[in-house]
Amino acid sequence: MADQQALDEVVEYTSGLIRIDTTNRGGGDCRERPAAEYVAERLSGAGLEPLLLERTPGRTNVVARIAGTDPSADALLVHGHLDVVPAEAADWSVHPFSGEIRDGVVWGRGAVDMKNMDAMILAVVRAWARQGVRPRRDLVVAFTADEEASAEDGSGFLADRHPELFEGCTEGISESGAFTFHDGAGREIYPIAAGERGTGWLKLTARGRAGHGSKVNKENAVTRLAAAVTRIGEHEWPLRLTPTVRAALAELAALYGIEPDFGHVDRLLEKLGPAARLVEATVRNSANPTMLDAGYKLNVIPGEAVAHVDGRCLPGTEEEFGATLDALTGPDVEWEFAHREVALQAPVDAPVFAKMRAAVEEFAPGGHVVPYCMSGGTDAKQFSRLGITGYGFSPLKLPVDLDYQALFHGVDERVPVEALHFGVRVLDRFLRTA
């Protein structure tokens, strides 16, 4: 059982990590090393021998192994990232890198994504060192750089250049799972991620005939691009149910006493009410235009226009996704992947999922654990190259008035102290039994 010191340390470490500004703006503009050194110092204090690894100077990852009591058992990877997305201080109630603790809440960028989980891992590992606890299976703990961009300096680098550090790991846990989802009717649902949609960030390029803005131009690159972007933005993607999403719908339907009619999924989602939010983004692919770049002067028609689209696809739909983009962009617009990562699925009937479920239910006996698929992606994609099956499991018990999902990359990101205490207890229970 996590002791009082562990409960105190998880709050201290969450706040401390937030105060270290590890903003990742993409394009290599980030420096995680100070946070990595903070983590490594605390792992060393627990008797471990952490390795600090870099592909690029300042883009630091930390990896350590805890030996289990059963050398024949497969190892488990526990990982969290150290970087965070940008935050504009003027938009926040408190400074986003203050790590302020006010009224039982820790404030700042990274409070839920995901320096809270980093702190939980540290608190549990240090509690075990004090108590002389060893897990059944080897645990590899990894704190990564660059998750909020391409992961090339983080989990991608570790998987490609240091696979030996993850020898024996068959499963892994990380962010975005086992948090409280309040359904508005008094139920507490705890979704555990057992899948992720694939990442397909797209660059669209339209070319045409440059010319004077006052002249008729039927080969206007901006017009061609705008038409393609509009078609993509308005496209209705067809329903595609993966095993993970089907399992999520089945368990949610059972919870609400509804017949899981998979032939009419949209109707089923309507019957689930607010709980539909857990699955509605993962019953189909998506492609959302996010950036436009064209021209250099108002009265000049440019010869080229560029757009970027955030595409996400479900497992097994990659060919369909590409064919659909070919049709939507048309003959006058080229498209390519600016960044691409695989979709993931993890079995929900695996023993490790049952142990995660049991750990949550021990400390949230009135809660209902269900599987779900993440609409976005995590470092689990890169670690899957090593044959590691990934789950989202960073437990938090949250109050009704705190919308966990809205806090990701949002303003006034924060996490209650009690939620961190719950997370340490659940993570400690799971890792002892996993």
Mean predicted confidence (pLDDT) in 14-30: 96
List, for residues 378-416, the tens digit of each pLDDT value.
999 999 999 999 999 999 999 999 988 888 899 999 999
Write down the pLDDT at residue 169.
98
230-236 — which CB contacts under 8 Å span 24+ positions? 231/328, 231/329, 231/330, 232/287, 232/289, 232/309, 232/325, 232/328, 232/329, 233/287, 233/288, 233/289, 235/287, 235/324, 235/328
What is the rounded distance in angstroms from the CA atom of residue 271 to the CA atom of residue 278? Answer: 13
Choosing from 12, 83, 113, 196, which is the catalytic residue? 83
The pTM for the full model equals: 0.94
State the DSSP H helix or E strand holding residue 363, giving kind and residue range, or none if neither: helix 351-363
The β-bridge partners of 389 are 171
List, for residues 236-285, the tens digit of each pLDDT value.
999 999 999 999 999 999 999 999 999 999 999 999 999 999 999 999 99
Write down the pLDDT at residue 403.
87
Preceding peptide of 356 cis, ω within 30°: no
Choosing from 9, 12, 113, 147, which is the catalytic residue? 147
List, for residues 108-166, the tens digit of each pLDDT value.
999 999 999 999 999 999 999 999 999 999 999 999 999 999 999 999 999 999 999 99
Q: How far is CA 99 from the centre of its chain?
A: 21
Write down the pLDDT at residue 2.
83
What is the rounded distance in angstroms from the CA atom of residue 416 to the CA atom of residue 131? Answer: 26
Write down the pLDDT at residue 276.
97
Write down the pLDDT at residue 361.
97
Active site residue 188: no
Active site residue 113: no
Alpha helices by DSSP H, 256-317: 265-272
Token couple for 215:
């002249």
User: 367-374 and 188-196 as β-strands: parallel, antiparallel, unpaired?
Assistant: parallel
Q: How far is CA 419 from the centre of its chain?
A: 19
Q: Which domains does the chain have, with CATH numbers?
A: 4-176+378-433 (3.40.630.10), 198-240+284-341 (3.30.70.360)
pLDDT value at 1 more than 90 = no
